[in-house]
Amino acid sequence: AQSVTQLGSHVSVSEGALVLLRCNYSSSVPPYLFWYVQYPNQGLQLLLKYTSAATLVKGINGFEAEFKKSETSFHLTKPSAHMSDAAEYFCAVSDSDFGNEKLTFGTGTRLTIIP
Amino acid sequence: EAGVTQFPSHSVIEKGQTVTLRCDPISGHDNLYWYRRVMGKEIKFLLHFVKESKQDESGMPNNRFLAERTGGTYSTLKVQPAELEDSGVYFCASSQDKFGQGASNEQFFGPGTRLTVL
């Protein structure tokens, strides 16, 4: 069975500082990994996804994540936080088996940006 | 292009009542998913439609939940009778199977329906 663990339900960083949101996964097959963001009163929006093409994945809004198989991690980073980054972030995994598309999510990390 | 829409945005009902949630996927998306987030916990998969067929309903909590997707367009999720533990946010998502990419297809999420059972 697949699972995702997000360390830290709340993270606060100062505007302009590095953002690091942690995600570790467990999967019996090569995984597909995703980061989604949810802004207030909106649906989840895909930030980026890993599908085995490249270990360093660049997403929207300046975010990127690195797949590290040895550490079973897929941490999300952004070099310089902006006030508009305040939101809740979800890491998710799905099996790479064709047709098995359901996402297994972590519990989410709420990011607060301090002015 | 319109995104995934869900109706209602909020619903407050009493225990024992019936509620029906609706999801309109992005036009042309054959895959439709329902997920639920109970407060403070992870978003959990409920079921997956491919067109009008249930591909995977392993996440449905019990037989009080009934999902339908008549004609392969919009979907409804009915809870009857509702219990206190059914409270949460119900998300719908849709995806298009591009060139058989399967699990790597992006799922587009709606804003969710917040259900409160009193």
Query: Shortest CB distance from B42 goes to which of A46, A101, A105?
Result: A105
Are the beta carbons of B97 and B31 closer than 8 angstroms? Answer: yes
Residues of B in contact with A107 (CB under 8 A): 40-42
pLDDT digits (tens, 9 = 90+) for B64-104: 999 999 888 999 999 999 999 999 999 999 998 766 665 56
Q: Tell me: pLDDT of A53 over 80.
A: no
**What is the arithmetic mean of pLDDT over B21-49?**
94
Write out the two tokens for A6. 């997000």
Over the Cα atoms of chain B, what is R_g? 14
Residues of B in contact with A101 (CB under 8 A): 31, 33, 48, 95, 102-103, 105, 107
Distance from the Cα of B104 to chain A's closest Cα (Å) equals 6
- Distance from C-alpha of B67 to C-alpha of B21, rounded to nearest angstrom: 9
The closest of A34, A13, A98 to B43, measured between CA atoms, is A34
Length of chain A as a residue count: 115
pLDDT given at position B80? 96
The answer, for B4 touching chain A at a CB cutoff of 8 Å, is: yes
**What is the arithmetic mean of pLDDT over B17-44?**
94
The closest of A44, A10, A32, A7 to A92, measured between CA atoms, is A32
Residues of A in contact with B4 (CB under 8 A): 43
The closest of A109, A89, A112 to A38, measured between CA atoms, is A89
Residues of B in contact with A57 (CB under 8 A): none
Residue whose token pair is 């570790």 = A24
pLDDT digits (tens, 9 = 90+) for A68-112: 999 999 999 999 999 999 999 999 998 765 555 889 999 999 999
Query: Shortest CB distance from B102 goes to which of A49, A90, A99?
Result: A99
Give the Å distances, CA to CA, from B54 to A10, A106, B13, B42. 36, 25, 27, 23
The answer, for B22 touching chain A at a CB cutoff of 8 Å, is: no
Are the beta carbons of B14 and B24 closer than 8 angstroms? Answer: no
pLDDT digits (tens, 9 = 90+) for A1-25: 789 999 999 999 999 999 999 999 9
pLDDT given at position A30? 76
